[in-house]
Amino acid sequence: MAKRDYYEVLGVSKSASQDEIKKAYRRLAMKNHPDRNPGDEDAEARFKEAFEAYEVLSDDQKKAAYDQFGHAGLGGAAGGGGFGGAGAGGFGDIFGDIFSDIFGGGMGGGRQRAARGADLRYDLDLDLETAIEGDTVEIRIPTLEQCEACGGDGAEPGSPVDTCDTCKGNGQVRIQQGFLSIQQTCPDCQGSGKKVRNPCRKCHGDGRVQSSKTLSVKVPPGVDNGDRIRLSGEGEAGEMGGPAGDLYVQINVKPHEFFVRDGNNLRANVPVDMITAALGGEIDVPTLKGKVSLRVPAETQSGKTFRLRGKGVQSVRTSSPGDLLVKVSVETPVNLNNKQKKLLEEFRDSLEESGRSHSPATTSWLDKAKRFFGEHLS
């Protein structure tokens, strides 16, 4: 049966780069691998065909001969040697990175390296003042630390650590995957190449022990919800004496009694009595540095927002502080006595007798309502 064009097999053009050729082969190899398609002879045939094409097109000399003379230019250099040939750097060079995705490990031998410890997260709740001003806070976290008794190798102090009988110290074992022979991490020693016969009594052979530690966290001024502080090397201890992971401190700012943070600005709602809003006056407004006086002009409406510049937050990412945005809410008096009610009634009558509009928002709303009802109910 005539062989298909290698470029057609991989689905690439003749001008494809080596990176494009490798990606195309990687995709086909993972899709058609026999272990992913048990009993599918067609998939196995496509897998072999893709390998043969890649073996030629990934080798500059073979590719040049193939481009000039086709399959005839290769002679016995491709397609006849199965999967053990030396083409394109040999089996291990071609499949090493590809099978790491399929089987979860590399194809090469050698012992497993010491593994880095896991990163940890700690949620730190701060009040708004601390988040804005900064501080040093102590936290206590549970973690896995290297066992001091055995130094992290898992063996009882003074007892030997033997070579693993299963992998003979190599850290990996060779297994048969369909028609392929590959290497995987030794299941008995987990890649260390060693076997602990007398486990450490303190850590039970794990090399790490559950512990807790107190750390001082320097909170920089201006942090906000979602910001993270990284403490290098303060995570879990690594396996087999590997380096520790990192600790990430997640900032959560608690709700404040007066302020809501909006980026670099602060927002606050402040009540104003009806008389001050109508005639004008001064009110006290809280800030993070103490109270300040705010001038309220006459005829101020409820919902009016005033900007106090520089009274906001200077975040960790900016060099100048934001503003304090004060929204006033005009408050209607309550618990009126008869005299007060009579005075308000007289005041209302005087407004109506003046013939002028003293409530612009109400007048505008009534005009819109009249137009609405006139258009929809006529």
Over the stretch 35-68, which tens digit does the pLDDT of each residue have? 777 788 888 888 889 888 898 898 888 888 888 8
R_g (Cα) of the chain, nearest Å: 38
83 or 278, higher pLDDT: 278
Angle at the Cα of 159 from the Cα atoms of 155 and 165, rounded to 5 degrees: 75
**What topology does CATH give the domain 6-103?**
Helix Hairpins (1.10.287)
pTM: 0.55
Q: Which residue has the higher pLDDT, 250 or 106?
A: 250
CATH number for the region 259-331 comes to: 2.60.260.20
pLDDT band, very low/low/confident/very high, at 223 (cuts 50, 70, 90): very high
Share of the chain above pLDDT 90, in %: 35
CATH 2.60.260.20 location in the chain: 259-331
pLDDT digit string, tens, across residues 299-317: 999 999 999 999 999 888 8
Homologous superfamily (CATH) for 120-252: Heat shock protein DnaJ, cysteine-rich domain (2.10.230.10)
Read off the pLDDT band of 195 (50, 70, 90). confident
Q: What pLDDT, on the 0 to 100 scale, is given for residue 275? A: 92
Known binder of ligand: residue 147? Answer: yes
DSSP symbol at 92: H
189 in a labelled binding site: yes
Within the chain, all domains assigned CATH 2.10.230.10 are found at 120-252
Q: 164 a known binding residue?
A: yes
pLDDT digits (tens, 9 = 90+) for 278-302: 999 999 999 988 889 999 999 999 9
Is 150 one of the annotated binding-site residues? yes
> Using one digit for the tens of pLDDT, what is the confidence trace for 91-102?
444 455 555 544
pLDDT: which is higher, 78 or 252: 252
Rounded-to-integer distance, Cα 353 and Cα 100, Å: 89
Q: Are 270 and 276 in contact (CB under 8 A)?
A: no
Is 192 annotated in a binding site? The answer is no
